[in-house]
Structure 1
Amino acid sequence: MVDSQQTERYYQDNPVARYVVLIVVCISSFLTPVSLSGSFVAVPAISEDLHVSAVYASWIPAAFLLSNLLMMLPAGRLADQHGRKRIFLIGGVLFSIGSLIAGFAQTIELLLFSRVIQGISSAMFFTTGMAIITSVFQQGRGAALGWLVASIYLGLTCGPLLGGWVTEQFGWQAVFWFPLPLVIIVLMLAGLTMKGEWRSAQADRLDLVGTLYMAIGMIGVFVGLSMLPDLKATIGLVIGAVFIGIFIHHCYTVPSPLVRLNLVLGNRPFSRALAASIMVYASNYGLIFLLSLYLQYNRGMTPTTAGQVLMVQAIVMTLLAPLAGRLSDRYRPRLLATLGCLAMVAGLALLVVTVGPATPIWIILLCLMAFGVGFGLFSTPNTNSVLGSVPPERLGMSSALLNLSRLLGQMLGTAVITLLMSLMIGQAKITPEHYTDLMEVVRWAVGLSLIFALAATYFSKERPLAVSV
C-alpha cells in the first residue's frame, strides 16, 4: 500500500489504525525532548568530568539545535519525495546511534559530534511525525495535534527529573542511554503497525546547493556569536551573513529551491504565524537552560531538585495542550495563541523584577507555570491553523517550516545565552568566583526574553484570520 491516496482511504476507514499511528508518533515525539531536557541538568556534571569551559558547556545543547535546524528543511523535502514513514524510520535508527556515541564519549569533541547526530535524526522524527498525523487525521486534527504537543511537553516534564536522578545515580552518560528502549519500541511498532506510505507526486528534488549555502550561513552566524568579542567572531559573522544572503538570492532564482521564500514571505498569514513561533521559542528555550544552571550554581540545588523545579512548566504544558487542541478545532486559533503569548509576557515580567540570588522559589515556580500556560495555549492552535490549511502535497515542507521556526527561535535564544556567557564569563569554568557573573547573565537573559515574548504577541495578534499557502 504505497499509493498515498490508498493510504489516506485506509486510515479514513480504520479509526483504530489512526490511533495506533498517533500512539507511535507521540512516543517518538516524547523521545527527543526527554533526551534534550534531561541533558540540561547533566551539563554541570559533564563540565566537571570533561573539564570544559562555560562556552563549551553552552555548546552541548547548541550543537543539537544547530544540526537539528540545518536538517529540518532537507528532511521535509526528502519526506515528501521518498516517503514520510521511511524518513521517520531512518531518523529513529540514527537517533539510537547518536545516543550510544554520546554515552560513550570521553571528550567534549566526541560528545558534540554525537549531539550533531542526535540533532539530525530528531529533525527527521519531528518533521515526518507531524506531517503523518496531519495526513491521517482529516477530522479532529486539532485534538490529535494536541496529544502530539502534549507528548512533547511530557518529555520536557520527565526529562529534567529523570535526567537529574539518572545523573546522580549512574553518571551523566546514562542520560543519553535511558531513552534507547523506547526508541527500539517505536521502530518495532512503526515497522509492524504503520501501514502504507505518504509521499507527494509533485515533490521537488532536494536542493543540495541551497542546503549547503544555508548550512554555512547558519554555522557562521552561530559560531560567530559564541566567540564574541574575538576577531574570529567578526569574521564568522560576516561569512555567515554573506552566505545567508546568497541562500536567499538562490531561493529566488532556481526553479526548485529548498524553500520557496516568495510563497512564504508573500503570504502574510503564514509568515506571521512563523514569526510568532520564532519569537515564542526564542523567549523561553535558552532561558530554561540558563535557569537550570542558576538553580544548581547560584541556589545550590542538586540536579534532581533543579529538575523537579523546572518540570513545573512542562507539567502545565502537558495538561493544557490537548485541551487547547480541541478548542482550536472550534474557536479562532489566533485568539488562543495570542492569549498564550500574553501569559508568557506576564511570567517574564514578574521574573524581570524579582530574579536574584535569593528569589523565593515560589516566585520561580509561578513564572514557570505562566510559561507553561503560554506554551500550552500557543503551540497547538498555531500549528493547527497552519497545517489545516495547506494541500496534502505540501504537508512535509509546511511541517518542516513550522519546526524550522521553532528551531530558529530556540537557536536565537541559545545564541543569546551563548553570547552573554562569552561576554561575561568567557572561556573560564563556572566556579564560585563566577557565580555573580552567572547571575548577571540570568538578569540580561530574562530581559531579552521579555522583549521576544512581546514581539511574539504582536505577530500573533496582527496576523489575518485565514492562513493559506
Structure 2
Amino acid sequence: MEEAVETVEHDDHSLKRVFKQPKAAWAVAFACVVAFMGLGLVDPILPAIGEQLNATPAQVNLLFTSYMLVTGVMMLVTGWLSSRIGPKPTLLLGLIIIVIFSALGGLSGTVDQLVGFRAGWGLGNALFISTALAVIVSVASGGTASAIILYEAALGLGLSVGPLVGGWLGAISWRGPFFGVAILMTIGFIGVFVLLSDVEKPKQKSSILDPIKALGHRGLLSMGIMALLYNFGFFTLLAYSPYVLGLSEHGIGYVFFFWGIFLAITSIFIAPKLEKRFGTQKTMYVILFLIAATLAIMGLGINSQATLIACVIIIGAFLGINNTLVTTAVMEVSPVDRSVASSAYSFVRFAGGSIAPWLAGKLSEWYNPETPFFFGACAVLIGMIVLFSGRNYMKDIS
C-alpha cells in the first residue's frame, strides 16, 4: 500500500510542490549542496595540484580514490550510528568532520597528506550524505518523490557550482577551494543546528551487518553493481578529463559548471517525465547506453578540444537523468528500510568504484590518453547488462 501511495505521489508531483518545503528541509538541502560541491570543487585544480606538488595524474586522482573508499566503507556504519545517537547528531558530526579535514587539506604540503585528508573528508561525507537523504524524506512535504527530487536538485546544484567556485578560488591558489568548503560547511552546520528539530530515531537499532544482509536481495545487489561500473565512466569523466581538456582553472570550472547545470535541469525536469512515460528500467537502459556512447566519442575525439568540451557538457544531461532514476529505484527495489538500502547500495557503489579515478590516470600512463574513455564506456555497458540480468528481481520498479 505504501508503495502504491508513493507511486501516485510521484505521478502527481509538481515543481511548486517540490520546492514548497519547511525550513528544516531547506537547511539540510543547503548543506547537501555544499557537500556535493566538494566532489567537483577540486576538478579545476587537479592539473595545478599535480604541477605544484610534483605528482602524476594517477597520484593526484588518489584524492578521489581515498575519498570514495572511505565514504563507501563508512556507509556500513552510518545507519548503525544514526540509529543510536539520532539523525541530527549524525548530520552535525559529519559536517564538522568535513570542516576540519577540508581545512587541513588546504594546509597540506605533499600530495600524500592531501590524499589522507581527503580520506577524512570522506568519513564526514559518509555520515552526512547517507543520513541526509533519509532526513529530507522524513521532514520534506509532498511525499517521497518530491523529497528525492529536492535532494537531486541539491546534488545537481552542488556539482555545477562546485567546479565554478573551484575555478575562481583555484586561480588564486589550489588551496583556496579547500578553505572555501570549510567556510561553507560551517554555515551549513549552523543552519542544520538551528533549523532542524530533533528527528526521531529509528524504532529499531540497526546493525553494521544490516546493509551487507540487504545485498542478499538480488535487485538491490544488481543496482549496486551497476552503479559501481557506472562510476568507472563517471569518474573517468570527472577525474581524468580535466587533464586532456587543455584549459586553465577558470576554463575547466566553466565547462563543468555547464555540465552540472545540464545535470541539475534533467534530474529535476526531465527524469520524472521520462520515468512516467517509459518506465524506470527502460529509461535507465537507454541512458546508460548514451553515457557509454558519449565516453566512446570522447576517446575517438581525444585530439579535438571542441569535441571533448561538448561531450563533457552533454553527458551531464544523461548523468542527471540516471542519478534521479537510480536514487528512486534504490528506495523502492527491496523490502528493507530505506536508510539500510541506501547504505548497502552506496557501500558497493563507492567502495567498489573507488579504484576508478586512480585507474583512469594509470591507463593513460600505460597506454594512451584515449584509453580511459574507452575503458569507462565498456564498464558502463557492462553495468547496463548487469542491470538487465537482475530485472526479474525489480518487479516493484516499473
Shared fold (TM-score, shorter chain, > 0.5)? yes
Q: How far apart in 2 are the matches of 1:21 and 1:323?
A: 23
Q: Of 125, 130, 133, which aligns to 1:130?
A: 133
Measure, in 1, the Cα distance between the counterparts of 2:22 and 2:285: 30
RMSD across aligned positions (CA): 2.6
Residues 389 and 350 of structure 1: is their aligned pair in 2 closer, same or farther, counting only changes over 3 Å?
Answer: closer
Matches of residues 287-298 of structure 1 in structure 2 within 5 Å? 287-295=237-245
1:31 pairs with one of 14, 31, 34 = 34
**TM alignment of 1:106-145, pairs within 5 A:** 106-137=109-140, 139-145=142-148
Q: TM-score, normalised by structure 2?
A: 0.85
Alignment partner, residue 417 of structure 1: 360
What's the offset of the Cα at 1:40? 2.3
Equivalent pair of 1:76/1:400 in contact (CA under 8 Å)? yes
Displacement, 1:370?
Answer: 3.7
Deviation at 1:98, TM superposition (A): 0.6
Structure 1 CA distance for aligned equivalents of residues 252 and 73 of structure 2: 31
Deviation at 1:375, TM superposition (A): 1.2
> The residue matched to 2:22 in structure 1 has which SS?
helix
Deviation string 1:270-291 (CA, Å, 9 cap, x unpaired) is 2222222222222121332111
SS of 2:180's equivalent in the other structure is coil
Maintained 8 Å contact 1:278/1:409:
yes
Partner of 2:152: 149
Match of 2:253 in 1: 307
2:215 aligned residue (246, 264, 279): 264
Shift of 1:186: 1.8
Contact 1:127 1:396 in 2 (8 A): yes
CA–CA distance in 2 between the matches of 1:327 and 1:409?
Answer: 31
Quote the residue 1:386 is aligned against. 330
Give the TM-score of the pair, scaled to structure 1: 0.73
Report the alpha carbon displacement of residue 268 of structure 1 after superposing the two structures with TM.
Answer: 2.6
Q: Distance in 1 between matches of 2:181 and 2:248?
A: 22
Structure 2 vs 1, CA of residues 329 and 195 (structure 1 numbering), >3 Å: closer, same or farther?
A: farther
What is the CA–CA distance in structure 1 between the aligned matches of 2:352 and 2:254, rounded to whole Å? 25
Report the residue type matching 2:47 in the other structure.
Answer: P
Write the mapping of 1:279-428 to structure 2, written as runs, cut at 5 A: 279-295=229-245, 299=246, 301-324=247-270, 326-327=272-273, 330=276, 332-356=279-303, 359-361=304-306, 363-388=307-332, 394-408=337-351, 410-420=353-363, 424=366
Q: In the TM superposition, what is the alpha-carbon distance from 1:65 to its structure 2 partner? A: 1.8
Give, in whole Å, the separation in 1 of the partners of 2:141 and 2:326: 17
Structure 2 match to 1:84: 87
Contact 2:58 2:357 in 1 (8 A): no
Aligned pairs for 1:114-263 (under 5 A) are: 114-137=117-140, 139-169=142-172, 171-206=173-208, 257=209, 259-261=211-213, 263=214
SS at match of 1:178: helix
Change (3 A) 1:124 1:162: same
- Comparing 323-332 with 156-165, which one deviates more in the overlay? 323-332
Partner residue, 1:21: 24
Partner Cα separation in structure 2 for residue 75 and residue 402 of structure 1? 13
The 1-side partners of 2:19 and 2:42 are apart by 35
Distance 1:409 1:204, change over 3 A: closer
Confirm or deny: 8 A CA contact 1:142 1:325 kept in the other structure. no
Deviation at 1:258, TM superposition (A): 5.5
The amino acid that maps onto 1:344 is I
Give distance in 1, aligned partners of 2:358 and 2:60.
13
From the CA coordinates, give the structure whose radius of gyration is larger: 1
Check conservation: 2:228, 2:348, Cα contact below 8 A.
yes
Q: Distance in 2 between matches of 1:68 and 1:158?
A: 22
**Residue segments in structure 1 that go unaligned for 5+ positions in a row:** 1-14, 207-256, 425-436
Q: Distance in 2 between matches of 1:16 and 1:27?
A: 13
1:54 shift after superposition? 4.1
Conserved? CA contact 1:42–1:164, under 8 Å: yes
CA shift for structure 1 position 389: 5.5
**In structure 1, what is the Cα distance between the partners aligned to 2:349 and 2:30?**
20
| Partner-residue secondary structure (3-state), 2:176 | helix
- The CA deviation at 1:390 is 5.5
